[in-house]
Amino acid sequence: PVPRSEFRNYLSSGYRDDLARDILAGMTAEQKCIPSRYFYDARGSQLFEEICRLPEYYQTRLELSILHGACGAIMESFGKGDLVELGPGTDLKASKLIDAAPEPEGEGICYIPVDVSESALAAATEGLLRRYPRLRVLGIVGDFTRDLGYIPARGKKLVTFFGGTIGNFTDPAAQRMLRSVAGVMGEDDRFVVGLDMVKPVPVLEAAYNDAAGVTAAFNKNILAVVNRELGADFDPGRFEHRAGFNRDEERIEMHLVASAAMAVGIPALDLHVAFERGETILTEISRKFTRESAGRLFSAAGLTVERWFSDPKEWFALAEVSR
Ligand code: AVJ
């Protein structure tokens, strides 16, 4: 019998090299920074799952309810083919889509999740294989900002990028990412992107400053990643979590603020980093969109918004785009 699932690993095993390069650049920059992709080690991924369940963090629940209303229309046009999911967290969103497909049991669909973590891919696919006896799976272990060329070019494709993660990219990086997706799309293919929208500032800021302190722990965990991987001696207890909305840039900016002057050693880089009291490390930007700014984002990458799905208050949206 033909196996229903296969995993292909395209990771250049360069995680620590990438981190070393990014930390060297980030710790010697005017505004110190650590790229947000390094949040997601095992503990960071667990904390993120916890964030998704927080009362203040509306994004995850809203996106799922919007998808619930949109999946019929999306899957009616798609029919069958390759369902590519960039950075799947859980199998929840893929299930919604496969449930709404015209044919039952995953017939005619090959689910292709792309993620740097093989264990995350296994977790996202196991349940789907059990639930849909005719579904096929091709897991791509790789970085979706680099490795989209490994997605097989055949038949029809529906690509999804949920969670609002596109907002973590600066405009040039988002353009690169969207263009590389456009590069694997055919004319009839569609790309569904989750976007967090501009909304009253107190709502935005509460989502990144939760009362239980989970986001603060998530933010500080990035220092533990650098300590473990590069032998650094950051003391997470001497940094404070700060997140606020930058109105001019229309984005949440998340920082770690040094609560005292200190020096941090990073042996793997042969580097000593001096911090003044109050100095910050920028750890994340999370852009918030309007329909207009989202339209500009896609059109600059050569993509066209075909359909727009959102909640009544337009706090979150799913844009369905074509090339
Ligand atoms: C999953 C990247 C969209 O930017 O809101 C949650 C990550 N950071 N709380 C976001 C995050 C702080 C999240 N994304």
* pLDDT tens digits, 101-139: 999 999 999 999 999 888 889 888 999 999 999 999 999
Q: How far is the CA of 36 from the centre of ligand 1 (A)?
A: 9
The DSSP code for 268 is G
Contact (Cβ atoms closer than 8 angstroms) between residue 181 and residue 148: yes
Mind spelling out the 3-state secondary structure of 49-82? HHHHCCCCCCHHHHHHHHHHHHHHHHHHHHCCEE
CA angle 188, 189, 193 (to 5 degrees): 140
Contact between residue 301 and residue 175 where contact means Cβ atoms under 8 Å apart: yes
What are the residue ranges of helices labelled H in 79-170?
Answer: 92-99, 118-131
Distances (CA, A) of 14 to 142, 143, 322: 11, 11, 33
pLDDT of residue 124: 86
Q: What per-residue confidence (pLDDT) applies to 117?
A: 84
Distance, in Å, from the CA atom of 95 to the CA atom of 81, rounded to the nearest integer, reads: 15
Q: Is the CB of 219 under 6 A from ligand 1?
A: no
- Residues 194-208 have pLDDT tens digits of 999 999 999 999 999
pLDDT exceeds 90 at position 14 = no
Residues above pLDDT 90, as percent of the chain: 92
* pLDDT score for 218: 98
Q: Which two tokens stand for residue 239?
A: 């940094």
> Position of tokens 């019998």?
1
At 276 the pLDDT is 98
Instruction: Tell how far the Cα of 54 is from the centroid of ligand 1, in angstroms.
Output: 12
Q: Is residue 38 very low, low, confident or very high in pLDDT (cuts 50, 70, 90)?
A: very high
Confidence band of 2 (pLDDT split at 50, 70, 90): low
- Is 215 near ligand 1, meaning CB less than 6 Å away? yes
45 pocket-lining for ligand 1 (C-beta < 6 Å): no
- 89 close to 124: Cβ distance less than 8 angstroms: yes
| Nearest in space to 62 (alpha carbons), one of 186, 203, 188 | 203
The pLDDT score that the predictor gives to residue 13 is 67
Task: Report the side by side order of strands in the sheet with 81-86.
Answer: 5-9, 136-141, 109-115, 81-86, 157-161, 190-196, 316-322, 304-310
- What is the average pLDDT across 227-251? 98
pLDDT at 250: 98
pLDDT digit string (tens) for 64-99? 999 999 999 999 999 999 999 999 988 999 999 999
Q: Residue 283: helix, strand or coil by DSSP?
A: strand
pLDDT at 300: 97
Question: How high is the pLDDT of residue 48?
Answer: 95
Residue whose pair of structure tokens reads 């090959």 in the numeric block: 110
Out of 168, 193, 242, 256, mutate this one to test ligand 1's pocket (max ligand atoms within 8 Å of CB): namely 168
Question: Residue 35: which of 227, 196, 254 has the closest Cα?
Answer: 254
| Ligand 1 proximity of 165 Cβ (cutoff 6 Å) | yes
How much is the ipTM here?
0.98
CB 126 within 8 A of CB 132: no
Q: Work out the pLDDT band at 1, boundaries 50, 70, 90.
A: low
Q: Give Dmax (Cα) for the chain.
A: 64
**Is the pLDDT score of 15 beyond 90?**
no
Cα 104 from Cα 54, distance rounded (Å): 34
Nearest CA to ligand 1 atom 4: 286
Give pLDDT, residue 116: 86
Q: What confidence tens digit (pLDDT) does each residue in 139-187 have?
A: 999 999 889 999 999 999 999 999 999 999 999 999 999 999 999 999 9
The CA distances from residue 182 to 9, 238, 250, in Å, are 22, 44, 25
- Both structure tokens of 14: 């360069």
Global pTM reads 0.95
Q: Binning pLDDT at 50, 70 and 90, where does residue 54 land?
A: very high
Q: Count the Cβ atoms, other than its own, within 10 Å of residue 63.
A: 26
- Nearest CA residue ID for atom 13, ligand 1: 165
**Do residues 136 and 143 touch, judged by C-beta distance below 8 A?**
no
d(CA 190, CA 250): 27
Long-range contacts (CB closer than 8 Å, 24 or more residues apart) made by 180-185 = 180/145, 180/148, 180/149, 181/86, 181/148, 182/301, 182/302, 182/303, 182/323, 183/148, 183/149, 184/148, 184/149, 184/151, 184/153, 184/157, 184/159, 185/157, 185/159, 185/322, 185/323
Instruction: Compute the distance between CA of residue 131 and CA of residue 129 in angstroms, rounded to an integer.
Output: 6
- Helix locations, the chain, DSSP H: 15-27, 42-52, 59-78, 92-99, 118-131, 171-184, 201-207, 214-230, 291-300
Residue 297 sits at φ, ψ, to 5 deg, of -55, -50
Average pLDDT over residues 41-46: 92
Residue nearest to atom 10 of ligand 1 (CA): 286
